[in-house]
């Protein structure tokens, strides 16, 4: 690997890290909630909001697994939390991560509300 290639890789990692930081800040600002048009009083999201929301959902989708494990354990018991909770969490994680990827990839496409 040449020095030029190393610089390019570092630049790509830095851009991705900055994007994830903005996405996490957006998630914190909105309490981690989905920021679709309906939950924002029917307002359409800007391209920047859609991009940061998509990055946020992509980066934090995996957190649905421990969340569902915890919720199932509280509602049922530890055995179901460690089995059914994991399966439910994995399904939610895949859904949330996929939605995030789609939002981030299509951030430049206007919302249906516009």
Name the token pair of 56.
């946020």
Does a structural domain hold residue 47?
yes
> What is the maximal distance between C-alpha atoms in the chain?
56
Does a structural domain hold residue 96?
yes
* Residue 29 lies in domain: 3-105
Which pLDDT score is estimated for 110?
Answer: 77
Which pLDDT score is estimated for 49?
Answer: 87
Does a structural domain hold residue 69?
yes
Q: Rounded to a whole number, what is the distance in angstroms from the first to the last CA of the chain?
A: 47
Does a structural domain hold residue 31?
yes
pLDDT digits (tens, 9 = 90+) for 16-29: 666 666 655 555 55
Domain count across the chain: 1
Does a structural domain hold residue 110?
no
pLDDT digits (tens, 9 = 90+) for 54-92: 999 999 999 999 999 999 999 999 999 999 999 999 999
Band (93; pLDDT cuts 50, 70, 90)? very high
Give me the torsion for CA of 92, 95, 101, 103, rounded to 10°: -110
Q: What percent of the chain has pLDDT over 90?
A: 45
Q: Is the pTM of this model over 0.85?
A: no
């Amino acid at each position: 690997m040449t020095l030029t290639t190393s610089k390019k890789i570092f630049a790509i990692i830095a851009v991705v890290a900055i994007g994830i930081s903005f996405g996490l800040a957006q998630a914190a600002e909105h309490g981690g909630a989905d920021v679709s048009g309906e939950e924002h009083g029917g307002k359409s999201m800007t391209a920047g909001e859609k991009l940061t929301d998509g990055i946020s959902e992509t980066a934090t989708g995996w957190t649905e697994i421990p969340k569902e494990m915890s919720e199932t354990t509280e509602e049922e018991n530890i055995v179901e939390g460690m089995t059914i909770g994991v399966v439910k969490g994995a399904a939610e994680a895949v859904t949330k991560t996929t939605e995030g990827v789609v939002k981030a990839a299509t951030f430049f496409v206007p919302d249906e509300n516009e």
